Amino acid sequence: MDLLQRLGRALDRPLFPWKKLIVGFSIAQYLFEGFLSLRQYQILKQTKPPKVLQKEVSQEVFDKSQAYGRAKAKYGLISGLYGQIQNTAFIYYDVLPKLWSLTGSWLLRYAPARFSGEISHSIVFVLTFIVIQQVLSLPTSIYKTFVLEEKFGFNKQTPKLFVEDILKGQMLAFVLTPPILAGFLAIVQKTGNKFFYYLWMFGAGLQVFMITIYPITILPLFNKLSPLEPGELKTGVEGLAARLKFPLHELYVIDGSKRSAHSNAYFFGMPWKKHIVIYDTLIEKSEPEEVVAVLAHELGHWSLGHTTKLFGISQAHFFYIFALFSVFINNQSLYQSFGFHKEFPIIIGFILFSDALAPMDTVIKLLMNILSRRYEFQADEFAQNLGYSTELARSLIKLQIQNLSTMDADWMYASYHFSHPILTERLGALGWYGDKPASIPEVKVEDVSKASGREL
């Protein structure tokens, strides 16, 4: 505690150029990521697939994959620039203090006196900010869905469904944000300098709560879950779960095809009651034994304790964030750099602190990607030891083709961005070198599927 307080006093230096420092970090990060994208773009200009895939991937599919990768890279650069311009403009034109003042005037004019405190003000501010961010993100979101994804056959969304999803997302924000934010702020206000201990416990409890309610109240707003029908696939999955003593409670199919051709499979739930969800597109495009192999990989994460370890790491990360926040929460020089000279709202301090923490978050992201790739290799090996080596390799290759996923990557770009090893690395670890071609049906552009959510 004393160390954190001394550090807080040392960092609270009048006239310290926090604004220039944070903007500089942000621009440097964008330029670095742009540099990595340009390196990757050179890989996406290659005309021949990697040697291990030459028997599996036709020239036509490889060319489409490269074109899709280049289109996404261009989109990423432009959307990143758009976001960078927004962020810089918000900072230099003092949007935060102006928005704080505006939302405060709304409360004074329209709300009862009991809602004039900092918590009510912060809730109105954050909800207004969410709406503004949603509106500003519409151009890039519309382009990605109805131009880029449409061009390569991925998009299945109608404009009506697109708008409905936005409205549902905003509704969830307006329902969930007030109680969560009120709890966050009340803890900081009432627990003194040790607030980060209580925030950490609050965050852990909130995670467990969200894991519990997500499949019951949130997921049904966007997708329909149906029990998997009896057959070879259900028998295979239930047999795998029984073999591993996985506490399977329900086995569902999700109608992912109503939005896109993307496919995935995952599990969720409490330690004693798990649910497995398989996308209908994955079932449609794969043989039953290949889907079981995919789930053998996913359940490998569970059996090897990866999900528990990652939950523990996330808790340590939360504690580290909240502890550092205690260093900055009373830093008046930080507030004043961004136009807050008389009021020092907690939520504003947290937003500015998050911006200041961005360089460290980049390092943590890199380290987490390294750990995640290691876990992916371990889960592949787990499935291999269960006897699914060939089926998993075929499934990975098939998904790669159906996804038009990038088939090779620049090492520096992959290290920074990828949480999963590239396909050639995974096939090599599985002992697959293209000498036994997988039986893969001809893939049309309109039939492609891309792993979404938690990828394999």
* C-alpha to C-alpha distances, 114 to 107, 117, 121, nearest whole angstrom: 10, 7, 11
Catalytic residue chosen out of the listed positions 380, 391, 408, 410: 380
Strand (E) or helix (H) holding 226:
strand 225-227
Q: Nearest to residue 419, comparing CAs of 356, 366, 378, 382? A: 366
* Alpha-carbon gap, residue 228 to 226, rounded angstroms: 6
Residue 206 · residue 311 · CB < 8 Å: no
CA distance 48 to 177: 49
- Residue 269's φ and ψ, nearest 5 degrees, are 125, 180
Q: 214, 268 in Cβ contact below 8 A?
A: yes
Q: List alpha helices for 148-225, DSSP H.
A: 149-151, 159-190, 195-213, 219-222
185, 212 Cβ separation under 8 angstroms:
no
Q: What is the DSSP letter of 346?
A: H
Please list the residues that pair with 260 across neighbouring strands: 155
Only one residue has tokens 């790739």, namely 373
Q: Is 63 a catalytic residue?
A: no
Contacts of 230 (CB under 8 A, 6+ apart): none
Q: Is 380 a catalytic residue?
A: yes
Nearest-angstrom CA–CA distance, 399 and 415: 22
Cα 272 to Cα 252: distance, rounded to the nearest angstrom: 17
Q: Helix (H, G, I), strand (E, B), or coil: what is residue 245?
A: coil
> How far, CA to CA in Å, does 340 sit from each of 98, 105, 335?
10, 16, 5
The residue from 298, 376, 391, 410 that is catalytic is: 298
Catalytic site positions: 298, 380
